[in-house]
Structure 1
């Protein structure tokens, strides 16, 4: 049986490690930790520590560490499933229902995992053979001695086209399995599969529990088309759901003395992760992709405020900006990020080689809070030497604060960002001001963040205004209906859907149920989802009404006329547009409320203009208006 992370977290929340481990190891309290004799080695002086706050144990005598599941696996030789089932019973939590299809999928996954592990062992052995002489020399030049190779399970793939394939087939593997595992490439013309990794240094990629799920390879040939190559998406590996080095980083965090804050640092490359971990810093990487929502949630499960350390070049700054935009809606009290920049345009690997571990730790400890980094990014985006440009900065700051889902944190960010804004050098007189009467009229017209139809307006104007007012509701219905029919559209935005819903409070409960269904099942067909929703009270009448409302979305929902990957991509883009619109609506509301204190109404006017532009975009065929194919980011 496969268990999702939320189920495992619930078990760990209910059970204290000291209680579970204390049943087989005699523990005594020592400060904020518990200490006892190692259950893994014979010792006279206690070196086994349990920390309830971190949910981890660490044994200095054997080097083993982990959580309560790992402890039962190590001490009682239980499988992972057996350990989880035992702890679930102890915590009083019912096991999830067994899905026959999911069980078959898990059986297949386990088979692929076995071949991946065998491949890792073969890569490791190849690194120590004559064929890998240049690879060994490269690692030595990078300051990574042979004594460290085993710790990170580094390997080498020779240049032969079928070297790994021949080895694994001799062990009983079928070529199709190795293609599914990402180890072989199947030619489109139907030719024989061949090794994916050739003449490369191999970096195994593991899941949080240390099981190998894929590989990354660094080319030895300087003329290779791809300097770094990662394995493809498979049934056991999803780039957006994994972080390179997380299993080792968890050990470093668990081994930290009580009361000592150890940073969790996100860097850019494999060698940077290894450099951090060799220096005693819990480092991870997103493997060449932008840091996604799922990866952020993984980070927050292990540290309340991870540090993002990107290179100081243009690409690094862009990566930091994308991370800010993706993280902003997800921030909440106790969950944020910090930013660090190593000096001199170097990366962590260079700092470790040239200056040593102490220098790397010292540089990564010099961090900038999220709110400050956000303000600096916006302030430096363009000059603020005219009233118009300064007003533009204020508009952007308000929008960014309003995009935070947590209302208390959104208010705190707004106050902080606008406080920093007020400290900027003053400009000339504002371009446009309004008096008390105009402010009152504005408040009446924009009450609740929605425009009201003026008295005496023609029926045509009333109809147009009504269509504008209803449009987000119709788009929300289209988004929700598509998610009911194809729950997998939620996969890349599931955390945002969990917090924002579909942009209509009438659909909030439906959004929560769909999110829960996706967390409970990896493979969820539309008909199954509909039956589960009907059992939750969303009857056919509700679904029929949802379909009627969705049809009114028209060109604002092009994903409903598509299928497959294109439909899912368009759905995600439309959802992001809706999130942006909701952020703008909140920013307009905030600006209206602040009018009595803010003599300059330029900010409000600009926000309304941008909000109305986005409304018009949503009502147009935005998918064919030259929009980039990539998902739009939150406004900045």
Structure 2
């Protein structure tokens, strides 16, 4: 079914947004709008605004934003079409009928749903009958309770080539073959696909049976047999237990991915219902998209053996092209040789909850994998590590996330392969810049366009260490004096950097007259062609140079300390200057965007504000990584 933009616009126009939100949220009239405490995060002071004229809601606290359809899908968890149908019914609108081919497909699918439900009932009857004794014993050995058996629809397929075909003969052999229940071999009569196996249904997001998974009870291969792809079932787009895990995830505020269906069932029985599993294959792009609709940071909980860890890395690399602001994967490492079912048996729900409470970020999981892949005892091996990390970073589609991954891995690589600078601890050593000057020149071109076009990307997760409060003082009124003094101190201590940065330095907006005067002298010296060294600069500047030192408690950098490694200090100085220039421009654009958004809530304005906020966060974090507070 295709819903045209015009039809959806008409639906929104006929829908009063406050009437949709009002039953679940207490609304307060505020002029031509309504205000409320946000239903998407806990707050005491209302920051959630509903504008019926515009048809949008917006939370100035958590950033939630959308229309009536979005509210029903995000707050109530309805599938998109169910939300559309509910709103259309209240608005007195008919949902457009599908075209003839789509109608035929839906009618055929509806018939196959009847076939699959009939098969599920028949398998359940066999499990409870005489032939199902071995299957019942297996479930008992696995610790599956009767309640779980009913919840997941366990059944049994007798070891016969024709019992199911006979039981469902009223549907016709062609329909049974199309549903994947019979195998049609050339020159032979169709026969039952599932034989001598424990069965359980695979359901779609609406809870309808679309396929089966069947486990062999004795020796033999394959251990698990799934239905083939059918008009109802696409293995690469389906996740086991999605129908039950979706609602559970909204309560738990997380979604967990395990390798096998029985692991998902075991965790559900233990009280962790927000669990899904792929169907015998690695996670696909379509499955990841479904997961991200439920939670922006799904947790991969794969087996502790080598196969499980390889599956975790495959999932991580599969996700890279699709990462975005706050859209990622997280990972937990199970004890060696154990799967989630084993851990539940030995430690109960508490053991799983303890792991899930502290998942490993994707950036850390791939770093750990590549570092452990081979010894790093030669320059060639270390170069190989760096190359693999940069290839992973290059696969990320979002430019801001890509750069942050690159920055993080370069920082870690630098700390791993280079000795600590004398007199500095690990944190200070890690804070030094890893960006060659030529890379910053390319990035500065993007920075200068942010105030006109808006920064790219979305929200960013804070790195370690977090951004310092003093970095937030860069704004449209000019560079804060303490930061200006740090930069000027750096150019006095490492004057060789002046030639590379004289143009940027000349255009800095310095509000302190003394700093501005000193800056002008430095620029004049650099432009004069004189030889630049530390002693010569101090001689020319005289008392002004002596008074520019960084005060106690201010942000300190490698370039504000005379004993730092000169190469590192000059690199850090260029990086800090570029970040400060970027922050200056971003602050101006952000202030203007926020003012426009307060005057008129719009999707375009909201998106611009979020992009600029994420860009500011990114550059604040970069500046903080270069600094340490005395």
Shorter-chain TM-score: what band? 0.5 to 0.7
Residue equivalent to 1:233? 229
**Following the alignment from structure 2 to structure 1, what is the Cα–Cα distance between the partners of residues 302 and 323?**
20
**Following the alignment from structure 1 to structure 2, what is the Cα–Cα distance between the partners of residues 403 and 180?**
39
**Following the alignment from structure 2 to structure 1, what is the Cα–Cα distance between the partners of residues 304 and 17?**
41
Q: CA deviation at 1:441?
A: 11
**Following the alignment from structure 2 to structure 1, what is the Cα–Cα distance between the partners of residues 437 and 275?**
54
Residue equivalent to 2:112? 112
Of residues 216, 221, 232, the one that matches 1:219 is: 216
Q: CA deviation at 1:353?
A: 2.1
**Following the alignment from structure 1 to structure 2, what is the Cα–Cα distance between the partners of residues 3 and 198?**
43
**Following the alignment from structure 2 to structure 1, what is the Cα–Cα distance between the partners of residues 11 and 164?**
40
TM-score scaled by length of structure 2: 0.56
Residue equivalent to 2:134? 134
Q: How many residues align?
A: 396
Question: Any conservation in 2 of the 1:311–1:346 contact (CA below 8 Å)?
Answer: yes
Question: Any conservation in 1 of the 2:39–2:75 contact (CA below 8 Å)?
Answer: no
Q: Is 1:151 aligned with 2:151?
A: yes
Of residues 199, 204, 208, the one that matches 1:207 is: 204
Q: Is 1:173 aligned with 2:171?
A: yes
Residue equivalent to 2:74? 55
**Following the alignment from structure 2 to structure 1, what is the Cα–Cα distance between the partners of residues 286 and 201?**
21
After superposition, residues 81-120 of structure 1 pair within 5 angstroms as 84-88=84-88, 98-120=98-120
Of residues 311, 324, 337, the one that matches 1:345 is: 337
**Following the alignment from structure 2 to structure 1, what is the Cα–Cα distance between the partners of residues 310 and 318?**
12
Of residues 281, 284, 287, the one that matches 1:289 is: 281
Residue deviations 1:121-179, cap 9 Å, x none? 1111211112111111111111111222111111111112111111111xx20101111
**Following the alignment from structure 1 to structure 2, what is the Cα–Cα distance between the partners of residues 384 and 16?**
63
Q: Is 1:190 aligned with 2:181?
A: no
**Mean Cα displacement is larger for which, 385-394 or 192-201?**
385-394
Question: Any conservation in 2 of the 1:307–1:339 contact (CA below 8 Å)?
Answer: yes
Of residues 249, 255, 264, the one that matches 1:253 is: 249
Residue equivalent to 2:423? none
Of residues 257, 261, 265, the one that matches 1:274 is: 265
Residue equivalent to 1:420? 412
**Following the alignment from structure 1 to structure 2, what is the Cα–Cα distance between the partners of residues 119 and 162?**
13
Q: CA deviation at 1:22?
A: 6.2
Of residues 374, 381, 388, the one that matches 2:380 is: 388
Residue equivalent to 1:516? none
Residue deviations 1:360-418, cap 9 Å, x none? 22223231100000111111222221122212211222222122111111111111111
**Following the alignment from structure 2 to structure 1, what is the Cα–Cα distance between the partners of residues 22 and 298?**
31
Q: CA deviation at 1:3?
A: 7.7
Residue equivalent to 1:589? none
Q: CA deviation at 1:279?
A: 2.7
Task: Give SS of 1:423's match.
Answer: helix
Q: CA deviation at 1:325?
A: 1.6
Q: Structure 1 residues 16 and 350 mapped into 2: Cα distance closer, same or farther (>3 Å)?
A: farther
**Following the alignment from structure 1 to structure 2, what is the Cα–Cα distance between the partners of residues 113 and 346?**
37
**Following the alignment from structure 2 to structure 1, what is the Cα–Cα distance between the partners of residues 104 and 396?**
40
Residue equivalent to 2:123? 123
**Following the alignment from structure 1 to structure 2, what is the Cα–Cα distance between the partners of residues 313 and 11?**
52
Task: Give SS of 2:115's match.
Answer: helix
**Following the alignment from structure 2 to structure 1, what is the Cα–Cα distance between the partners of residues 340 and 132?**
26
Question: Any conservation in 1 of the 2:73–2:79 contact (CA below 8 Å)?
Answer: no
Question: Any conservation in 2 of the 1:239–1:287 contact (CA below 8 Å)?
Answer: yes
Q: CA deviation at 1:251?
A: 2.4
**Following the alignment from structure 1 to structure 2, what is the Cα–Cα distance between the partners of residues 324 and 97?**
40
Task: Give SS of 2:360's match.
Answer: strand
Question: Any conservation in 2 of the 1:21–1:68 contact (CA below 8 Å)?
Answer: no
Q: CA deviation at 1:278?
A: 2.0
Q: Structure 1 residues 391 and 275 mapped into 2: Cα distance closer, same or farther (>3 Å)?
A: same
**Following the alignment from structure 2 to structure 1, what is the Cα–Cα distance between the partners of residues 256 and 242?**
10
TM-score scaled by length of structure 1: 0.56
After superposition, residues 236-635 of structure 1 pair within 5 angstroms as 236-254=232-250, 256=251, 261-281=252-272, 282-426=274-418
Question: Any conservation in 2 of the 1:273–1:283 contact (CA below 8 Å)?
Answer: yes
**Following the alignment from structure 2 to structure 1, what is the Cα–Cα distance between the partners of residues 117 and 392?**
45
Task: Give SS of 2:225's match.
Answer: strand
Question: Any conservation in 2 of the 1:2–1:106 contact (CA below 8 Å)?
Answer: no
RMSD, aligned CA? 4.2
Larger Cα Rg: Structure 1 or Structure 2?
Answer: 2
Task: Give SS of 1:201's match.
Answer: strand
Residue equivalent to 2:589? none
Task: Give SS of 2:168's match.
Answer: helix
Q: Structure 1 residues 379 and 157 mapped into 2: Cα distance closer, same or farther (>3 Å)?
A: same
**Following the alignment from structure 1 to structure 2, what is the Cα–Cα distance between the partners of residues 146 and 362?**
27
Structure 1 unaligned spans of 5+: 35-50, 58-65, 70-79, 429-438, 449-593, 599-636
Q: Structure 1 residues 440 and 355 mapped into 2: Cα distance closer, same or farther (>3 Å)?
A: closer
Q: Structure 1 residues 97 and 117 mapped into 2: Cα distance closer, same or farther (>3 Å)?
A: closer
Q: Structure 1 residues 84 and 252 mapped into 2: Cα distance closer, same or farther (>3 Å)?
A: same
Q: CA deviation at 1:237?
A: 0.4
Structure 2 unaligned spans of 5+: 28-35, 42-69, 421-435, 446-567, 573-630
After superposition, residues 11-22 of structure 1 pair within 5 angstroms as 19-20=19-20
Q: CA deviation at 1:20?
A: 4.2
Of residues 50, 68, 78, the one that matches 1:67 is: 78
Residue equivalent to 1:455? none
**Following the alignment from structure 1 to structure 2, what is the Cα–Cα distance between the partners of residues 294 and 379?**
30
Q: Structure 1 residues 53 and 67 mapped into 2: Cα distance closer, same or farther (>3 Å)?
A: closer
Residue equivalent to 2:497? none
Question: Any conservation in 2 of the 1:252–1:280 contact (CA below 8 Å)?
Answer: no
Q: Structure 1 residues 289 and 19 mapped into 2: Cα distance closer, same or farther (>3 Å)?
A: farther
**Following the alignment from structure 1 to structure 2, what is the Cα–Cα distance between the partners of residues 359 and 285?**
20
Question: Any conservation in 1 of the 2:72–2:78 contact (CA below 8 Å)?
Answer: no
